[in-house]
Amino acid sequence: MKSDRLLSILLLLQTRGRVRAAELAERLEVSVRTVHRDIEALSAAGVPVYAERGRHGGIALLPGFRTDVTGLTADEARALFVLAGRGAHSALGLDGALASALRKVMAALPAPHRPAAELTSRRVLVDPERWLAPPRPAVDLEPLHAAVLTDRRLRIRYRHGGREKARTYTVDPYGLVAKAGTWYLVADHRGRGRLFRADRLSDLAVAESPVRRREGVELAQVWAELRREVEDRPGGVRITARVRRGRLDMVVRIAGAHLAGEPSAPDEAGWARAEFDYPVLPAVRQLLQFGADVEVLTPPEARAELARAATEIHSLYDGA
């Protein structure tokens, strides 16, 4: 609806200041021409909005103009109270701020929307942790959170997986990302996007020099590129296995991150077929936890890897 779009433009201009018409068009999923027509409509309604041309131009409100906007719909009000990953707020030291903000939002909601919003907060819970996930090392994110908000370069010590010694990097941060309960620093290093797990960072220092991000590049874009690199990384191994019907749900729950598509329906003997993608061959040992309820069928080297692991386990405990 046009009224919702005008309200969205007004909110964006109040929170962001000057915004390019192309960015407004992208956010609202309309054409730039439609954005300009909406700006004319806002101006005609008495909103002091203006446009500036040029490289650093954009659309903005006159300095000092503010308006209290309470035009939330019922669905928008409910959406505010379905907050994915409340643990993320705790990790950032924002639990108290979150509770305070929600109280203020509830007080500002139109009275008819308050019961639905309050009920949603009690009936919907989002837990980002996977089932039976091992305990994660404690990470103090508050210094890192404060550091990425300063728009300064960071000097860090970082220990890569599988290595004992840490390396020193000077990076240009875009921000923080929580992925399945693990926090990452997303930053440029020598002009290229990099991921740094927060629990492997040490000796964080904020540099005096300003950040040197790539122009026009935002956190979400860099994260999407890095995530694709991880997911499309070559050199993995495809495993075909059969799984007993009675353990199929458990296997999907625990090893689902490595599943390549949906398992087949169980056959008459009660076995379902499933395929798994692992980054390296030794990672197939994850399936040993299911005992005889999962049998790897192919490739032969995966079966041999599991046989070696079973022999090592047997040798460890035999005669103990």
User: What are the DSSP calls for 210-247, one per residue?
Assistant: EP-PPTT--HHHHHHHHHHHHHT-S--EEEEEEEEGGG
pLDDT at 67: 64
pLDDT at 1: 57
CB 263 within 8 A of CB 272: yes
Per residue in 83-106, is it b (16+ CB within 10 Å) or e — as a string? beebebbebbebeeeeeeebeeeb
3-state secondary structure of 140: coil
Half-sphere exposure of 37 (CA within 13 A, CB side): 8
CB 274 within 8 A of CB 241: yes
Tens digits of per-residue pLDDT, 145-161? 888 888 899 999 999 87
pLDDT at 293: 95
Residue 22 to residue 35: CA distance in whole angstroms: 8
pLDDT at 118: 81
CB 140 within 8 A of CB 180: no
Residue reference for tokens 């550091």: 147
Pick the closest to residue 194 from 215, 177, 180, 216 (CA basis): 177
Tens digits of per-residue pLDDT, 5-59? 887 888 788 777 888 888 888 888 899 889 889 888 888 888 888 888 777 778 9
pLDDT at 242: 96
Mean pLDDT by groups of 10 residues along the chain of 320 residues: 76 81 88 89 86 80 71 74 65 73 73 80 76 70 84 91 85 90 90 92 88 90 90 78 94 88 92 92 93 95 94 83
Q: Which two structure tokens, joined as six digits, stand for 160?
A: 């890569």
In the chain the first and final C-alpha atoms are separated, in Å, by 73
Residue 91 to residue 160: CA distance in whole angstroms: 22
pLDDT at 80: 74
Half-sphere exposure of 200 (CA within 13 A, CB side): 18
Pick the closest to residue 185 from 199, 193, 196 (CA basis): 196
Residue 154 to residue 173: CA distance in whole angstroms: 7
Angle at which helices 21-28 and 2-16 pack, to 10 degrees? Answer: 130
pLDDT at 117: 81
pLDDT at 273: 95
Pairing status of strand 271-278 against strand 237-244: antiparallel
Residue 261 to residue 254: CA distance in whole angstroms: 15
Amino acid letter, residue 60: A
Residue 297 to residue 11: CA distance in whole angstroms: 57
Burial of 167 (0-12, 13-18, 19+ CB in 10 A): exposed
Burial of 214 (0-12, 13-18, 19+ CB in 10 A): middle
Amino acid letter, residue 275: E
Global pTM value: 0.60
Backbone angles phi, psi at 162, to 5 degrees: 85, 0
